Amino acid sequence: MNFFSKLIQGITGASSQELPADAILIDVRSPGEFASGYIDGAISLPLGNIAQTISAAVPDKSAAIIVYCRSGARSGSAKSILTGLGYQHVINGGSVGGLALKLQKPVRRA
């Protein structure tokens, strides 16, 4: 990983992993934050209740999941929670803006 990649990862909180095209996008911000702008196709599962809601939204624990938030901190916590629950392919996508750019997906407003 070059210096620029490390710098971007530090700013966005994003993982340097390749992002699977078929991954399920989960926004772990509050409902108000989600409504203000979310990545097209994302599911809103706020961090505070993700442990209770994830199995209904993503029953397959082998599915590729990308979690994101405003800066990457909450999505880092979400990744830890989900891996603790047995989800095998969870990636911290970092910030909503950085991840949208990386995925080349639009940010929608509710």
| Catalytic hit among 69, 78, 100, 103 | 69
CA distance 2 to 24: 28
| Closest by CA position to 105, among listed 8, 58, 37 | 37
Residue 72 vs residues 4, 50, 60, 76, 92: alpha-carbon distances, Å? 18, 16, 24, 6, 7
Let me know if 69 is a catalytic residue: yes
Q: Which residues are known catalytic residues? A: 69
